Every structure is written in structure tokens, then in C-alpha cells.
Chain A
Amino acid sequence: MNNLKVEDLKNFLPCKECFITEPNRCVSSICASDLMSEVLLIAQKDGIIVTNLLNIQTIRTAEMVEASAIIFVRGKKPTKEMVELAKKSGISIYVTDKGMFETCGMLYEKGLSMLT
């Protein structure tokens, strides 16, 4: 069990940009995938979605599964429209230059895993 909150991510994840909307929201688990069909199947409430897939459907998917945050890896920057949609749903966005594997490793070291 971890006690991580959304705003804690910026303390250990090298971020290029971040858009934090609900800093004190708890983080439950990681869902790392570029396949939104898979995210809809396995993501848990308040989870973090770690993905390479940058489009408006990534935000919509996060909204439906009640994700707490999305981390876009390899420096992929969301558009203003994506950031606004995420904000409306209380989802924070982080952008890191790290890849998927390394990002998941950092989250795992902080006690987060795929399933809680």
C-alpha cells in the first residue's frame, strides 16, 4: 500500500512539463499501455496511465476509468485542448523525457504496481 499523491510525482520523476489539477488526489496503481482498449479493461480507479499514445482519446479514456494522472513518456507534449479536457475531469498530466520502462521503474520503486 502506498501513500502517494498526484503532486508527489514531480519529486522523483524528471518532468519536462506538468499540469496538476488535483494535487492531493491519491494514486492507486500504474497502468502502462499504448492501447486504450487495454487501459479500459485493466486500469483501476485513481490509477496513473503511463503511455506513448498522445491523442484526445487518451484523455477521454483516462476520464472514463477515473485515472488520477497521465504520464506521457519520451517527451510527448499534449495540446492545449488535451490539457483543458483533462483539467475538466480532474486529471493531472506529466510529460517526461524518460521512456516507458524507466518511468514504470521509478513508480515501482515508490511502491506503485500494476495491481493493488
Chain B
Amino acid sequence: MSEIRLSFDIKHNDFDRAGAASSNLKNSLKQLGYPPEDIRRVAIASYEAEMNVVVHASDGKMEAIITPEMVDIWVIDKGPGIENIELAMQEGYSTAPDKIRELGFGAGMGLPNIKKNSDFFEIESKVPDGTKVHFIIRRKTGK
């Protein structure tokens, strides 16, 4: 395996399909023989990032580059962007409406949980252009 690139579209408010991109990524890593613990970290981080787009943003995409050493993931949306990233990174801080909370999300744990499950994490956002979340999960166990 040298390098595999995967790209998925994410639709705002499409709760029926939400999670499909992360599920596909997870299954690809399984087929490539990635260790289960690393796959779990990728799945949790990518699902959180995917849900952020579904809940908060207009449409976006997820791009993943898989190498034998790491999984490098970019989740990019088309706005409206985050006004205060420092606040958004605080556990418990959320701007999600009640409708989203009724679906079990919007508890303000998403971005901190992506960071927790990643070996590298960065976020860039510009109002109203959009947000880029970039995170890397390195393969921890045998290749």
C-alpha cells in the first residue's frame, strides 16, 4: 500500500446519510488491514467532524489520505464559519439548536473529541467562508 485517497461529500441537515462517509472510511481501513484500535480512533474523529458539517455548516467534503503510517483527514465546509475557535474548542460549548440536541448531538464535545482521538489536530475558520478541520491519526501498532 503506497497511498490511497478517498473523498466524500457531506450534506447539511441530511441526518439519514450522516455518518456514511465515516462508515466508508472505516470499512476501507478494515479492508487494508489497519489495526482495530487505530480504526476506532479514525472512526470516532471523522464521525465527529462529519456530524459538525451536517449540524452546523452548509455542504462540505471529507478527504482522507491513507498511507501505511497514518490516516490524514481534511473536513472542509462552505460556511458559515466559526466566530470564536477558542470557545468552540471548550468542552460543553455549543451553538447547536434544540432540534439537534434532541437528536443526541450538540453537546459541545465534538471538536475536543476529534483532538483527543488524533495525533495532530488543527482548525482554521473564516466567517462566512467556512471551516477546515485537519487531523492525523498515526498507526500505533504493527504494520
Contact = CB atoms under 8 A, between A and B. Distances in A.
Interface stretch (A4-12, A18-26, A62-70, A99-107): A62-70
A2 interface: no
A56 interface: yes
B22 to A, nearest CB: 6
Contact of B105 (A41, A57, A63): A57
Contacts of A58: 104
A57 B22 contact: no
Interface string B97-123: 000000111111110010010000000
A64 B43 contact: yes
B44 interface: yes
B34 interface: no
B47 A40 contact: yes
B16 interface: yes
Interface in A18-71: 34-41, 45, 53, 55-58, 60-61, 63-66
Q: For this complex, into which size category does the number of interface residues on chain B fall?
A: 20 to 34
B48 interface: yes
A65 B42 CA distance: 10
Contacts of B15: 55-57
Contacts of B37: 45
Q: For this complex, into which size category does the number of interface residues on chain A fall?
A: 20 to 34
Nearest to A45: B40
A66 B107 contact: no
B44 A36 contact: no
Given A40-B113, A45-B40, 12 more contacts: A35-B107, A36-B105, A37-B106, A37-B107, A37-B109, A40-B47, A55-B104, A57-B51, A61-B47, A64-B44, A65-B40, A66-B43
